[in-house]
């Protein structure tokens, strides 16, 4: 057996980012950040918001403040991040399974039927609230979120922990991500990647689909046996 041949590494675990991959919560992050920017006296566009995807809460605030050209002390920054989070939590506390993104549920069900492990790898500290409200918890063999990690993506920690918890070696794992930082984290963790979104943005991904509605287990194994 040639260990360099990807045919010898069928996928045994799928690791999913949450926001923008499984659920449509990226819009709520945007609404809350936009509200904060407006309170601080500047506007914040959806294009600016792209830079926040996959980035931790405090790092997101730093980017937002740089857009507004505002410098603040650490205590004020903490207060503002908490304020943004309280608005965000208000939004997600009302969400339900209608905010699961197209194809996500069917793909999770198919993976389960095939005995492929499923793990969450999210930067969010609110991941459990979202998974509970969307009734997604039962699908996961491991849930790694922002409460369990110390290093934010593009550090590979979140995915390495996920792979360890499901006992699958990185070369048998594939990561589904909508953020460039997340794709980079997966690559640094030695895993293969499927980008959710546009191939123009997710240039480092092995393969890009516009949503999980384009995925099936048969396609996954086929793509991953040819991906380099």
For 97, the token pair is: 């399974």
* Residue 9: partners with Cβ closer than 8 Å, 6 or more residues away: 171, 172, 224
- Of the candidate residues 22, 29, 183, 192, the single one contacting ligand BG6 (CB under 6 A): 29
Query: Interface with ligand BG6 by CB under 6 A: which range of 38-46, 56-64, 131-139, 169-177?
Result: 56-64
Q: Does 77 bind ligand BG6 (CB under 6 A)?
A: no
Q: 19 an active-site residue?
A: yes
Give me the residues paired with residue 19 across strands.
23
Residue 15 · residue 22 · CB < 8 Å? no
CB of 29 to ligand BG6, least distance (A): 4
Q: Does 19 bind Mg ion (CB under 5 A)?
A: yes
- Tokens 């069900």 correspond to 109
Residue 117 · residue 13 · CB < 8 Å? yes
- Of the candidate residues 122, 162, 170, 192, the single one contacting ligand BG6 (CB under 6 A): 122
Residue 215 · residue 204 · CB < 8 Å? no
Q: Is 153 left (phi over 0), alpha (psi -120 to 50) or beta?
A: beta
What are residue 68's phi and psi, to 5 degrees? -85, 0
Query: Interface with ligand BG6 by CB under 6 A: which range of 6-14, 53-61, 197-205, 215-223?
Result: 53-61
Query: Interface with Mg ion by CB under 5 A: which range of 14-22, 30-38, 86-94, 195-203?
Result: 14-22
- Of the candidate residues 13, 17, 107, 158, the single one contacting Mg ion (CB under 5 A): 17
Q: Does 20 bind Mg ion (CB under 5 A)?
A: yes
Q: Which residues bind ligand BG6 (CB under 6 A)?
A: 18-19, 29, 52-57, 60, 85, 122-126, 146, 179
- Tell me the catalytic residues: 17, 19
């Amino acid at each position: 057996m040639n260990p360099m041949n990807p045919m010898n590494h069928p996928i045994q675990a799928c690791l999913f980012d949450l926001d923008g991959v499984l659920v449509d919560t990226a819009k709520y992050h945007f609404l809350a950040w936009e509200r904060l920017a407006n309170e601080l006296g500047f506007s914040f566009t959806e294009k600016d918001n792209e830079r926040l995807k996959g980035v931790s809460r405090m790092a997101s605030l730093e980017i937002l403040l740089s857009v507004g050209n505002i410098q603040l002390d650490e205590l004020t920054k903490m207060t503002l991040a908490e304020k943004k989070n309280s608005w965000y939590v208000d939004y997600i506390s009302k969400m339900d399974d209608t905010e699961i993104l197209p194809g996500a549920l069917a793909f999770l069900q198919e993976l389960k039927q095939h005995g492929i492990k499923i793990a969450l790898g999210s930067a969010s500290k609110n991941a459990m609230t979202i998974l509970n409200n969307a009734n997604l918890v039962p699908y996961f063999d491991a849930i790694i979120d922002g409460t369990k990690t110390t290093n934010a993506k593009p550090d590979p920690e979140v995915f390495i922990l996920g792979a360890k918890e499901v006992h699958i070696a990185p070369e048998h794992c594939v990561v589904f991500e909508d953020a460039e930082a997340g794709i980079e984290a997966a690559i640094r963790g030695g895993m293969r990647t499927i980008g959710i979104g546009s191939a123009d943005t997710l240039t480092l991904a092995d393969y890009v689909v516009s949503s999980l509605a384009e995925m099936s287990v048969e396609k996954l194994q086929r793509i991953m046996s040819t991906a380099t």
